[in-house]
Amino acid sequence: MTTTRELAQERLRVQEAAERLGVSRSSVYRYVREGRLTASRDEQGLVFTGLDVEILEGYRSFGRRGPRLYGDKELTEFLAEDQVELPSELRHLLTA
Amino acid sequence: MTIGRDTVVLFDASCLVAAGGSSRGGSAFVLRLCARGYLRGAVSRPILAEAERNTREKMGDLAAVQLERLLLAADLTRILVPVWNVASGVNEKDRHVVAAAVAGRADVILTLDRPLASEVNLSALATVAMTPGDFIRQELPTHPDFPFAHH
């Protein structure tokens, strides 16, 4: 059962995250539902790690919602660029 | 540049995605060197998030598992990025990579994104950026342990 103290504690944590991100408390809850902000629960309600808030804050500074998704052409180019003919003296490391 | 066991190599997400997709590519190879202690690999949470999303959504489960195995073995240092938007001549989408490189004092940024590499190398940053292929061909032979003989 949730007590009023626990509810107040959770509200405080959500408020802190909201202020840090410059959004409303309801947006913080929405971010959690959408998986953009990771939250866990302890006996006093939702817990946000500072790092997760920081990451979301970083994306927001670029006007983005989260990690960008590569286009197919871009991904194909990356994979092609990664194909390397190793010098023969290094090939033994491939099987390690 | 001369490299060695203390050289800090920051992996861009493009390299991690490619490593998940191909265990015989240059990125996976450099990750293996980190796993053996020949280099000090590094990454940031935002880079990992980008790599994990693209590997899972664009490459599939097998690639995601392959990447996870490589990351576990390589045991990369996680760099905390206090400020994402470092002033530099680097495009906005990649500034968090440069911020991680600065925060982690990386010697090298490994990336498959050649435009990003050019931007970093034209900037005043102390870090250089290059593809895994260029790193293997040009820098690895300067490593004192090269050619990394069998143990």
- Cα A89–chain centre separation: 40
Q: Tell me what pLDDT residue A11 has.
A: 82
Regions of chain B with pLDDT less than 50? none
Interface of B with A (CB under 8 A): 13-15, 17-19, 21-22, 24-27, 29, 32-33, 36, 45-46, 49-50, 52-54, 57-58, 80-81, 84-85, 92-93, 95-96, 112-114, 131-133, 136-137, 140, 147-148, 150
- Residue B24: predicted pLDDT: 92
For residue A50, what is the enclosing H or E element? Answer: helix A50-61
Judging contacts by C-beta atoms under 8 Å, the chain B residues touching residue A75 are: 17, 54, 58
**pLDDT of the residue at B105:** 93
Closest residue to B148, CB basis, from A59, A81, A90: A90
Q: Does the beta-carbon distance from B54 to A67 stay under 8 Å?
A: yes
Secondary structure (3-state) at B125: coil
pLDDT at position A93 = 83
Q: Which comes out higher in pLDDT, residue A58 or A27?
A: A27
Tell whether A34 lies on the interface with B, counting CB pairs under 8 A.
Answer: no
- Nearest chain B residue to A92, by CA: B150
* pTM assigned to the model: 0.79
Element (H, E) at A40: strand A39-42
Q: How are beta strands B77-79 and B108-110 bridged, if at all?
A: unpaired
Percent of all residues in chain A with a pLDDT value above 70, rounded to a whole number: 69
Among the partner-chain residues B25, B32, B45, the one whose CB lies closest to the CB of A82 is: B25
Q: Highest mean pLDDT: which of A24-28, A32-36, B54-58, B134-138?
A: B134-138
Q: What is the pLDDT of residue B124?
A: 85
